[in-house]
Amino acid sequence: MKLFTEHFNLIYVDGFRQSEVKTGDVEYLPIAYTRAVVSSLIFLTDVPKSILLIGLGGATFPSYLKKHFSHSKIEVVELFQGMVTVAEKYGNFKQDENCIVIIDDAADFINKNHNKKQYDLIIQDGCSIAPCPLLILDTFKKLSSMLTPNGIYIQNQIGMDPPVIKNIKDSFKDFYYVESKSINQVIVAHNSDRIYTKENLILRAQMYQAAENPTFNVVEEYARNYKRLTDIMINSENYLEYK
């Protein structure tokens, strides 16, 4: 892990940029996929009361969500205590009664809590490339069961890996994706009967832009570009299964 600190803190893990943080500014989202994840909040129907974040990283998402959803209860599952130390020392992150970090393996946490806890918003940013225990069918089904009826699941994904996409399709009622203008795609899934049309997403983005005033254009960068994956013909015989 390497840190280059001045006004901007860059956090590297295993040679890859994990996060980029601007001291004192939780709105600073220079990495494309983080903007795509934040844009995907337009799928929410209400302010989330309960939020689960899988993977802390540089705490970009919990710091942003704490500011914009100040009364929400946020749980962050992170494997390494060292990441918490780094996020608190070099990022804009502080734990409090509404935002706590749980040191645990995310797959173990899901296995222990899938029939006990439900969340209005789940963001999975702990694992984006298969093979990984967070991307198998059983885990997706458990994550699906942890959503409230109107809950939204958001995932950072590197590449539209067919086995992973099939596992998501088999676990949630409906799902969408958007390119983040980098190697990452962001997937949004839910279990309600709601259909999000492009017009509806643009309207939601305009409302979000006016209410939350993000530092980038949610409408032009992302809202116009979501695709509903259930509209795509998928030949499951072409998939290698990750069970």
CB 140 within 8 A of CB 167: yes
For the segment 38-75, what is each residue's pLDDT rounded down to a tens digit? 999 999 999 999 999 999 988 999 999 999 999 999 99
Asked, for residue 228, whether it belongs to a domain, the answer is: yes
Which string of DSSP letters, residue by residue, matches 131-167?
S-GGGSHHHHHHHHHTEEEEEEEEEEEES--HHHHHH
Concatenated DSSP letters for 80-106? -HHHHHHHHHHSS---BTTEEEEES-H
- Report if residue 122 sits inside a domain: yes
Structural domain contains residue 178: yes
The answer to whether residue 18 sits within a structural domain is: no
Look up the CATH number of the domain holding residue 71: 3.40.50.150
Is residue 116 a part of any domain in this protein? yes
Whether 240 has a pLDDT exceeding 70, the answer reads: no
Q: Any residues with CB less than 8 A from the CB of 179 and at least 6 apart, and which?
A: 36, 185, 225
Structural domain count of the chain: 1
Residue 41 domain-assigned (yes or no): yes
Q: Mind listing the pLDDT tens digit for each residue in 160-218?
A: 888 999 999 999 999 999 998 888 899 999 999 999 999 999 999 999 999 999 999 99
9 in a domain, yes or no? no
pLDDT score at 198: 94
Residue numbers of the domain that contains 84: 26-238
Nearest CA among 111, 234, 79, 224 for reference residue 161 = 234
Picking from 167, 178, 179, the residue whose alpha carbon sits closest to that of residue 234 is 167
Task: For residue 189, give the 3-state DSSP assignment.
Answer: strand
The percentage of the chain sitting over the pLDDT mark of 70, rounded to a whole number, equals 86
8 in any annotated domain: no
